[in-house]
Amino acid sequence: MIPINKPSMDEAEAQAVLEVMRKGPVTNALGAGPKVLEFEKMFAEFAGVKHAVAVNTGTAALHAAVMAVSVGRDDEVIVPSFTFVATAEAVALAGAKPVFTDIDPETYTLSPAAVKKAITKKTKAILPVDLYGFSADMKPLREIAAKHGLGLVEDAAQAHGATYAGKPAGCFSDAACWSLYASKNMMTGEGGVVTTNDDQINEKLRMIRTHGEKAKYASEMLGSNYRMPELEAAIGVVQMKKLPSFVAKRRQNAQQLTKILSKSKKLILPYESKSCQHSWYLYTARLKDATEAQRNKLLETLKAKGIGAEAYYVNPINTMPFYRDNYGAKALPETEKAAKQVFSLPVHPGVTEEEIKFIGETVLSLL
């Protein structure tokens, strides 16, 4: 089976972990051990920002960032429903209400036009998602946020290596949240990062990740234990050095797959432009005018042939019991349609040129 995603690592990561285990420290009480600091510096440079704050999961990154822009009880935060549940979960954990809003059908990211209609007196922030590794349309979202005095937190969990308007993803938000889960373009096993150019947000994030403390046993605000261990950071330092080659290989595989699949008129292939480049975390195509059953049948057959194709976000968050029961049912036509028609194919660095050809030709033959 060609898996949909697979971590890329070798002896370098193993040696980095062993070095920390032998020499220490394995963690730091304030989350700022030497490997964490080294990793944060590398990630900030990669993301083109002043600050990177390492945490222990991508969900922790989201929750900390939402808190850092002062979202609290009874506030509203505009979010897409077509994403992983952690996006809305972070809002709920902060005591706020996720306001589910529809997507652009071409990019699958939060629709600025829909966002404008969703703003109320209680709106505190906007939380777009760079879905599948393609940036949300951040310039109009930035303008909306500025006009209404709202925080703008970007879920960039899948966007390592993506660009928007010629800049790295995350540059147009108050804070961008990255996941380092094992399937991502780079990984630390678990782990996350928040990037920001705002000194005040940076200071808040560093307190939030370690129980609200600036100094040990001196909590100044509400926080949690979101520290990244030195072992994870050691892996991250090695993976950062490899990330450009990982993204280049994903791009090469995606371009090859697009060349093959463009022969079919039954598919809508991933959108990309010269100024907005994909990270190719997932290669997501869409079966035109298909029913959910037809899409699912295609996936079943691809898997039977050894291709780990998947359909992500088939249950939009607003339809999940907790969110439906607590925040109310809502019609999101573009979200619902996409959830029934999209499917993702493997393009990670472990997929060979021959395997890409096999994947593409198999899809064409089934169509």
Helix (H, G, I), strand (E, B) or coil at 365: helix
Share of the chain residues as helix, strand and coil, in percent rounded to the nearest 5: 40, 20, 40
Give me the mean pLDDT over the 53-71 stretch: 98
Tokens of 238: 């090695």
Q: Inform me whether the pLDDT recorded for 93 exceeds 90.
A: yes
Instruction: Indicate the pLDDT class of residue 274, thresholds 50, 70 and 90.
Output: confident
| Structural domain includes residue 180 | yes
Q: What is the pLDDT of residues 285-338, one digit of tens each?
A: 999 999 999 999 999 999 999 999 999 999 999 999 999 999 998 999 999 999
**Do the Cβ atoms of 93 and 124 come closer than 8 Å?**
no
Tokens of 5: 């995603």
According to DSSP, residue 352 is labeled: -
| Structural domain includes residue 3 | no
| Structural domain includes residue 71 | yes
Q: What is the pLDDT of residues 339-361, one digit of tens each?
A: 999 999 999 999 999 999 999 99
My answer on whether 100 and 249 are in the same domain is no
| Structural domain includes residue 144 | yes
Task: Mark which of 224, 239, 254 sits at the end of a domain.
Answer: 239
CA distance 326 to 94: 15
My answer on whether 117 and 142 are in the same domain is yes
Report the domain count for the chain.
2
My answer on whether 196 and 293 are in the same domain is no
Q: Which residues pair with 175 in a beta bridge?
A: 153
**What predicted TM-score, i.e. pTM, was given to this entire model?**
0.97
Q: What is the pLDDT of residues 168-179, one digit of tens each?
A: 999 999 999 999
Task: Mark which of 206, 222, 239 sits at the end of a domain.
Answer: 239
Q: What is the pLDDT of residues 166-212, one digit of tens each?
A: 999 999 999 999 999 999 999 999 999 999 999 999 999 999 999 99
| Structural domain includes residue 5 | no
> Measuring CA to CA, how many Å separate 253 from each of 42, 233, 261, 286?
26, 28, 12, 18
- Where does the chain show beta strands of DSSP type E? 51-55, 76-80, 97-101, 123-126, 151-155, 163-164, 167-168, 175-179, 192-196, 213-215, 218-219, 267-268, 283-287, 342-345
Amino acid at site 315 = N
Q: Report the mean per-residue pLDDT for the chain.
A: 97
My answer on whether 205 and 285 are in the same domain is no
Amino acid at site 92 = A
> Measuring CA to CA, how many Å separate 144 from each of 121, 124, 310?
14, 12, 34
**Do the Cβ atoms of 4 and 344 come closer than 8 Å?**
yes
CA distance 48 to 68: 20
| Structural domain includes residue 2 | no
My answer on whether 157 and 256 are in the same domain is no
My answer on whether 96 and 188 are in the same domain is yes
**What is residue 123's predicted lDDT score, i.e. its pLDDT?**
98
Q: Are strands 175-179 and 151-155 parallel, antiparallel or unpaired?
A: parallel
Give me the mean pLDDT over the 41-53 stretch: 98
My answer on whether 186 and 290 are in the same domain is no
CA distance 66 to 220: 18
**What is residue 137's predicted lDDT score, i.e. its pLDDT?**
98
CA distance 28 to 43: 19
My answer on whether 220 and 266 are in the same domain is no
Taking the CB of residue 251, how many other CB atoms lie within 10 A of it? Answer: 17
Look at phi and psi of residue 133 and say left if phi exceeds 0, alpha if psi is from -120 to 50, else beta.
left
CA 297, distance to chain mean position in Å, is 28
Domain that holds residue 200: 11-239
My answer on whether 232 and 260 are in the same domain is no
Task: Mark which of 205, 239, 273 sits at the end of a domain.
Answer: 239
My answer on whether 265 and 351 are in the same domain is yes
Closest to 122 (Cα-Cα) out of 175, 63, 78: 78
**What is residue 199's predicted lDDT score, i.e. its pLDDT?**
98
Taking the CB of residue 318, how many other CB atoms lie within 10 A of it? Answer: 24
My answer on whether 260 and 228 are in the same domain is no
| Structural domain includes residue 4 | no
**Do the Cβ atoms of 137 and 160 come closer than 8 Å?**
no
Give me the mean pLDDT over the 268-275 stretch: 94
Q: What is the CATH number of the domain that holds 116?
A: 3.40.640.10
My answer on whether 191 and 316 are in the same domain is no
Instruction: State the first-to-last Cα distance of the chain, in angstroms, to the nearest integer.
Output: 20
Tokens of 282: 């997932």
Q: What is the CATH number of the domain that holds 283?
A: 3.90.1150.10
| Structural domain includes residue 1 | no
